[in-house]
Amino acid sequence: MRIGLFTDTYFPQVSGVATSIRTLKEELEELGHEVYIFTTTDKAVGRYEDPTIIRLPSVPFVSFTDRRVVYRGLMTSYRIAKAYQLDIIHTQTEFGMGNLGKLIGKALRIPVVHTYHTQYEDYVDYIAKGKIIRPGMVKYIVRGYLNNLDGIICPSRIVTNLLEGYEVKPVKRTIPTGIQLDQFVRDDISQEDVDRLRQDLGFQPCDTMLLSLSRISSEKNIQAILASLPEVLSEYPHVKLVVVGDGPYLTTLKQLTTQLGLEASVIFTGMIDHNQVALYYKACDFFISASTSETQGLTYTEALASGKPVIAHGNPYLDDLITDKMFGTLYYDARDLPAAIIDALVSTPEMTQKHLTQKLNAISAQQFGKAVYSFYLDAIIAKAACRQYKYSLTMEGSPADRSLQLVKQTAVLPVTLVKKTATTSAKVFKAPIKVITSIKDFLE
């Protein structure tokens, strides 16, 4: 199968969405499919890049300058998508590249599915300080984008429930994003490596390390963790918080740390190299998050894959993920965060290998890739069946005859798809030649 992923954000931009897209691409390719990413330009990317990544002209997004939005490239995208003979388009962000993907899908008459990653009510303040788009307007905007798609992937029950509340009509399937386990189940990280990092951070052997790892923005609610620390430290003075990441709220958090007198108990590392992320997980005692804006949160599964329990604000996604006390402690009222931290320190049991193995299987990228591919097949079959049905309405004969012909035609679709998938083994590095040839033919 040939798949086009359309997204406004991708590496080197760092985000959960970018990580999810890269994971999906790698897993689908492992299954034998060809995957092409249509995304925005980025000044940090060299001229020569993976030929399966197509970058379109873009500019920084207003009030959110570390993200970009495409401003042209429709015909270029159409020609390339047609040359690659895409079977399906999967949009990952709304509006810019999302609308581009929808237009191209319509032009090529192929299914367009979408993953809804973001609760926009938590982000409207970034656009003219919330004066243009109000939280109450979000559902109408989102519904307008989603209602003419061929299917929607919801990364968690939170998103499924949210879209049901928006009265979004297309078929929805809950498929949590998996993670590459080998990046976090790291036997190559020794105890000496862990001890060295903790020493470099200024930890004593008796200290307990809470790890916050995310983009530093107000909606991540790291300020709530800081506000809870004085109460925790009054009973457990050896607790320290390590805040990893960068973002627009970093200065504010540092000022709050000073105001609360927490300089000796809070460490800001700034951005760290991606290769160091697993080491930080291994070095901590608990991963902590007070965010209420996550639709899933890959950092939770990354922490679990590293064998570390979670302390977090509960939601339907985490209720499904944290199925045992050994995996973490959830709280549901902001006032309960200090008590939740103390409860986790006192009563979290050791993870057993049996339970951890079961959890790893459930959150693996392999399961994620297979589930998404299954959804693609359903969307393609449904699209073809709908087209055949519309065609049957123009055929001669009785309704029974038309129905029988429709059933026969639809029944061979899965076989046709399997055969088509089996023929897509051409090497990806030949792609630019195919594109150039096809564009030349198109123009002539």
Does residue 127 surpass a pLDDT of 70?
no
Q: Look up residue 150 and give its DSSP letter.
A: S
**Cβ pair 376, 113 in contact under 8 A:** yes
pLDDT score of 256: 98
- The Cα–Cα gap between 240 and 210 comes to 6
- The Cα–Cα gap between 389 and 372 comes to 26
Averaged pLDDT for residues 24-31: 98
Averaged pLDDT for residues 141-166: 95
Q: Count CB-CB contacts under 10 A for residue 391.
A: 13
Three-class SS state of 230: helix
Instruction: Give the DSSP per-residue string, 38-104.
Output: EEE--TTS-SS--TTEEEE-EEEETTEEEEEEE-S-HHHHHHHHHHHT-SEEEE-SSSHHHHHHHHH
- 235 or 49: which carries more pLDDT confidence? 235
Structure tokens at 37: 């990413």
Q: How many residues does the chain have?
A: 444
- The Cα–Cα gap between 6 and 150 comes to 15
Q: Look up residue 321 and give its DSSP letter.
A: H
pLDDT score of 118: 87
For residue range 225-264, list pLDDT tens digits in order.
Answer: 999 999 999 999 999 999 999 999 999 999 999 999 999 9
- The Cα–Cα gap between 173 and 157 comes to 9
- The Cα–Cα gap between 61 and 145 comes to 19
Mean pLDDT, rounded, of the chain = 88
Does residue 334 surpass a pLDDT of 80?
yes
* Cβ-based neighbours of 359, under 8 Å, separated by 6 or more: 304, 323, 327
pLDDT score of 426: 43
pLDDT band with cut points at 50, 70 and 90 for residue 199: very high
Best CATH choice for the domain 181-362 from the list 3.40.50.2000, 3.40.50.10420, 3.10.20.740, 3.30.413.10: 3.40.50.2000
Averaged pLDDT for residues 340-356: 96
- The Cα–Cα gap between 310 and 330 comes to 8
Which of these ranges, 124-138, 383-397, 406-420, has the smallest mean pLDDT? 406-420
Which of these ranges, 12-26, 98-112, 345-359, 415-429, has the smallest mean pLDDT? 415-429
Nearest to 290 by CA among 244, 231, 225: 225
pTM of the model: 0.79
